A = this chain, B = another copy of it.
Amino acid sequence: MNATINTMNATDHDQDIATLMAAMGQAARTASAAMASASAAQKNQALLNLAQLLRTNAAALQPANATDIERAQAAGLAAPMVDRLKLDAKTLETCAQGCEQLAAMTDVIGEISGMTQRPSGIRVGQMRVPIGVFGMIFESRPNVTIEAASLAIKSGNACILRGGSEAIASNRALAALVQQALVSAQLPADAVQLVPTTDRAAVGQLIAMPDCVDVIIPRGGKGLIERISAEAKVPVIKHLDGNCHTFVDDSADLSMAVRLADNAKTQKYSPCNATESLLVTRAAAPAFLPAIGRVYADKGVEMRACAASKVMLSAVSGLKLVDATEGDWSEEYLAPIVSVKVVNDVDEAIAHINRYSSHHTDCIVTDNHSHAQRFLREVDSASVMVNASTRFADGFEYGLGAEIGISTISFMRAAP
C-alpha cells in the first residue's frame, strides 16, 4: 500500500514540477519579446541598477548566504567548496563591476552588416538578434547567478537559471535583486527567472522544452555536462574540459617560452585554461626542457615525460619525473602535473593537439610567422594563441565581459 501511495505522490509531484516549469517557460518566452525590442539604454540601465543593488545589499544578502554556508558546513562539505559559496563584499563588488563593464560595452543587437543591393533591386543585410530564451544549469557558486543574468540582459535574451542546491537561498536573494533591477528599468521581471526548487525533476523539464527554451548552457563538472548533453532536447552550448597545450617551436625565444610555460601551468592549477601538456620540437628541447624542468622542480610540479624528453630532464635535481602513458595525452590534471612530449615539428604538434586537445585553448610559442599563422588556422580549438599564456583565455581578459559557462570562449571563433 505504501508503495502505491508513494508512487502516486511521486506522480503528483512530478506533475507539479512539470506545471511549474511549463509556466516559467511560457513567462520567459513572453518576456523574451520585450527584451529583444528593449533599447540599449534600458538594458544598460538595468545593469547599472543591478550593480548598485549588489553594493547596497551586501549586508542584506548575508543572512541568506549564511543559511547556505551553515547547511553546507553541517553536511560536511569540504572547506574549498564552502568557500565558493561565500558572497562577501569583495565577490559582490566583482559582480557589480562585471555588470558595469557589460553596460559600458557596445550593444550589438540590431547591428546590421553586409548590406548590399542585389541585381533584383532588393537590398539585403544581416541583423544581429537575440537568441530568445536560454536555460542555464550551474553548480555551487552563487555569483554565477549574476553573471548569467547580466549577460542575458545585455544580449536582449530571457533566461531561466537553475543553480546548485547548496546555494539556493543565496541564489533566490540574488535573483530577487535582478528582478528589481529589471523592473526599475521598465523591463519584465520574468526576463530572469530562477527555478525555485532544488528538485532534480526540474532540470529534466528545463532541458526538454524546445517551444520555450532555445538553448541550454550547463556550467559545472564533466558529469553534469555529459548528463545534460545526453538528455537535452534543445542545443547545448558546452565545453566539457580543458586539456590545454603550450607548444614550444624551433624559433621560440627560450626565456619567453619558459616564462609562458611556467605561468600557464603554475599560476593556478584548478582552472580549465591551465596548460596540462607541453610539446616541444626536437631542436628546441635540449635548451628548453632542462630550464622549464628546473622551474617545475622548484614548484613541485610532476612531469609525465615521453622517452625523448625524459632523457633531457633526467639531470634536473628534485624533479618528479614519471613515464608518460598514452592516457596522459588526454588527461586534464587540474593539479601540479604536466605531460611533456618531444615532437618533430609544427605539423606533428598540430596533429597531436587536434587529436588529444579538448579544443579549449592551445598556444604556440614561436618567432616564425608562417608557423604562427598555420597554428592559428589549423588548430581546432576555441582559443588559439601565439606567444601568450593559456591562462589568458577568459571573457574579461578578452574584453567580452562575463563568461557564461566556459563557452563564451567557444563563441570566439564562431563558425561562418
Contact with B along A371-401 (1 / 0, CB 8 A): 0001011101000100010001000011100
How far is B215's CA from A415's CA once the two chains are assembled, in angstroms? 12
How far is B155's CA from A238's CA once the two chains are assembled, in angstroms? 23
How far is B111's CA from A129's CA once the two chains are assembled, in angstroms? 21
Find chain B residues with CB under 8 A from A128 CB. 413-416
Q: Does A130 belong to the interface (CB within 8 Å)?
A: yes
Q: Does A124 belong to the interface (CB within 8 Å)?
A: yes
A118→B36 contact, CB < 8 A? no
How far is B378's CA from A109's CA once the two chains are assembled, in angstroms? 11
B415→A129 contact, CB < 8 A? yes
B118→A33 contact, CB < 8 A? no
Find chain B residues with CB under 8 A from A109 CB. 416
Q: Does A77 belong to the interface (CB within 8 Å)?
A: no
Q: Does A256 belong to the interface (CB within 8 Å)?
A: no
Give the number of times this chain occurs in the complex, counting copies. 2
How far is B229's CA from A78's CA once the two chains are assembled, in angstroms? 42
B36→A399 contact, CB < 8 A? no
Q: Does A321 belong to the interface (CB within 8 Å)?
A: no
A413→B376 contact, CB < 8 A? no
Find chain B residues with CB under 8 A from A129 CB. 377, 380, 413-416
B116→A37 contact, CB < 8 A? no
Q: Does A10 belong to the interface (CB within 8 Å)?
A: no
Instruction: Please judge, given known A-B contacts A122-B388, A388-B122, whether A37 and B416 are in contact too, CB under 8 Å.
Output: no
A398→B354 contact, CB < 8 A? no
Instruction: Please judge, given known A-B contacts A110-B377, A132-B380, A376-B127, whether A33 and B354 are in contact too, CB under 8 Å.
Output: yes
Chain B's closest residue to A116 (CB) is: B399
Find chain B residues with CB under 8 A from A398 CB. 118, 124
Interface residues on A, range: 35 or more
How far is B131's CA from A412's CA once the two chains are assembled, in angstroms? 13
Q: Does A126 belong to the interface (CB within 8 Å)?
A: yes
How far is B392's CA from A230's CA once the two chains are assembled, in angstroms? 39
Q: Does A104 belong to the interface (CB within 8 Å)?
A: no
How far is B129's CA from A412's CA once the two chains are assembled, in angstroms? 10
Find chain B residues with CB under 8 A from A376 CB. 127
Q: Does A315 belong to the interface (CB within 8 Å)?
A: no
Find chain B residues with CB under 8 A from A126 CB. 412-414
Residues of A218-238 contacting chain B, CB below 8 A: 229-230, 233, 235
Find chain B residues with CB under 8 A from A416 CB. 108-109, 111, 128-130, 155
Q: Does A370 belong to the interface (CB within 8 Å)?
A: no
Find chain B residues with CB under 8 A from A4 CB. none
Q: Does A120 belong to the interface (CB within 8 Å)?
A: yes
A36→B392 contact, CB < 8 A? no
A118→B397 contact, CB < 8 A? yes
How far is B128's CA from A330's CA once the two chains are assembled, in angstroms? 26
